[in-house]
Amino acid sequence: EIVDFNLFLNRIIDRFEMTHKDEVEFVRDIPDTAVFTEIAVDKMGQVLDNVISNAIKYSSKENKKVEFHVKQNRLYNRLTVRIKDNGLGIPASKVDRIFERFYRVDKGRARKMGGTGLGLAISKEIVEAHDGRIWANSVENHGTTIFINLPCETLEEADWDE
């Protein structure tokens, strides 16, 4: 399915905002113009649901903030979405392991939080099946940023109507 990724992402954030607006500040730096991507909407929705849920779940207790940034690289027909939280962060030595199945940074904490530790492993599979990449940057006690890079089209919206 070909969708405007910016619209798709905005709708997902809207949904989180409705259920978490008293608890989390959502900041959007998303272009007004359309960026078309060919995605399995359900699957990519599952990826974003997990990444955003993680950003909220592993955030610091006060002043939870999740920032979204979308940037299109027209030269290479790729887009990068960045989802940044100001939460607990992940030690540098462990950050690359969070995409492994069942891997959880803090087992004690994870048990209390619930979940299975599969979210990011599944997300990685889905993103790679879209010819995309997913990776993380994190600073312990400061926060985590998840990056997702995907193919996109440079065609203008009008071109799709022909």
Q: Which residues of this protein are in contact with ligand ATP, per CB under 6 A?
A: 50, 54-55, 58, 85, 87-88, 90, 98, 103-106, 110, 115-121, 144
Q: How far apart are CA 123 and CA 51, in angstroms?
A: 8
Q: How far apart are CA 91 and CA 139, in angstroms?
A: 7
Three-class SS state of 116: coil
Smallest gap from residue 162 Cβ to Mg ion (A): 41
Is the Cβ of residue 51 or residue 79 nearer to ligand ATP in the bound state? 51
132 binds, among ligand ATP, Mg ion, none (CB under 5 to 8 A by kind): none
Element spanning 16, H or E: helix 5-20
Contact status: 87 vs Mg ion (CB under 5 A): no
84 binds, among ligand ATP, Mg ion, none (CB under 5 to 8 A by kind): none
Give, in order, the Cα–Cα distances in Å from 1 to each of 54, 130, 156, 160: 26, 12, 17, 13
Q: How far apart are CA 147 and CA 67, in angstroms?
A: 12
Q: Report yes or no: 152 and 35 within 8 Å, Cβ to Cβ.
A: yes
Smallest gap from residue 140 Cβ to ligand ATP (A): 9
Is the Cβ of residue 119 or residue 143 nearer to Mg ion in the bound state? 119
58 binds, among ligand ATP, Mg ion, none (CB under 5 to 8 A by kind): ligand ATP
Contact status: 54 vs Mg ion (CB under 5 A): yes
91 binds, among Mg ion, ligand ATP, none (CB under 5 to 8 A by kind): none
